[in-house]
Amino acid sequence: MDNFKSISIKKTKNGLEIKNPTNYELIGKGVQGAVFRISDDRCIKVYARERHWLRESEALNAGQDSSIVPKVFEVGENYIVMEYIKGQPLKEYLRSIGTIPEPIAKKLVFIFKEMKRIGFTRIDAAIRHFIVTDDGEIKVVDHVNSMKRLQAWPIKLFESLARLYLLDLFLDHLKEMDPDLYWEWQNLMKNSKDK
C-alpha cells in the first residue's frame, strides 16, 4: 500500500499545488485541501493549512455519533482518514429525477436539525457537499467551517434548489413536516432580503 503521508498540499496564488507520489486517485479538491480514495471504504483529505485541518477535525469529532457525517478512522498532522461515501451529489440526484420527493426533503430536514444538535453553527452546506448514498441515505461532507461560521438557515441549499426549480416544492414539504421550522426559515429569508 502506498504511503498516503507522502502526499503534500500547498496553497499558492493559483490555487492548490498537489504533490501525490502515490497511486491514490484524486476524487476532489477545494479551497482547503484535496481528497484521495485510498480503499473501497476509505478516503483521505490532506490540508494545505493547519487551521483548516483543525477546524474539520473538530467538526467531524463532534459529529461521530451522528449518521450524517463520515466516520473518522485516523487523524494525522495535516490529514484525516475518513469513510468514503459511495453515492452521488444531491444536485445530480435531483436533476436525474426532476423533483424533490418527500422522503428526501425529510432527510434534509433531519440533517439540518442534526447539524444543530451536534453544535454546528453553519447550517448552510453547499448542495455539492450533500451525497446521496447508494442505499438512499444522505451524508454531508466538508465540515471545515461547520463550527467556525454562523449561518442559521440553509441559504446555499435554498439557492441551489431555486436554480433547479425545486425550492417551492421543498418548502411545501417542509411546511407540512415542520411548520415551526418553515416559518423560522421564512422569517430568516425575509430578513436577509431586507438587508
pLDDT digits (tens, 9 = 90+) for 71-84: 999 998 889 999 99
Q: Find out whether 129 and 138 touch, Cβ atoms under 8 Å.
A: no
pLDDT band of 195, cuts 50, 70, 90: low
- DSSP type of residue 128: G
* pLDDT score, position 25: 92
Domain coverage including residue 94? 87-194
Domain shared by 17 and 56, yes or no? yes
Least confident of 61-65, 132-136, 143-147, 150-154: 143-147
- Whole-number percent of the chain with pLDDT over 70: 95
Segment 21-39 shows an average pLDDT of: 90
Q: What is the CATH number of the domain that holds 35?
A: 3.30.200.20
Domain shared by 105 and 22, yes or no? no
Domain shared by 93 and 180, yes or no? yes
- Angstrom distance (rounded) from CA 97 to CA 173: 17
Least confident of 119-123, 130-134, 183-187: 119-123
CA-wise closest residue to 181 among 109, 77, 120: 109
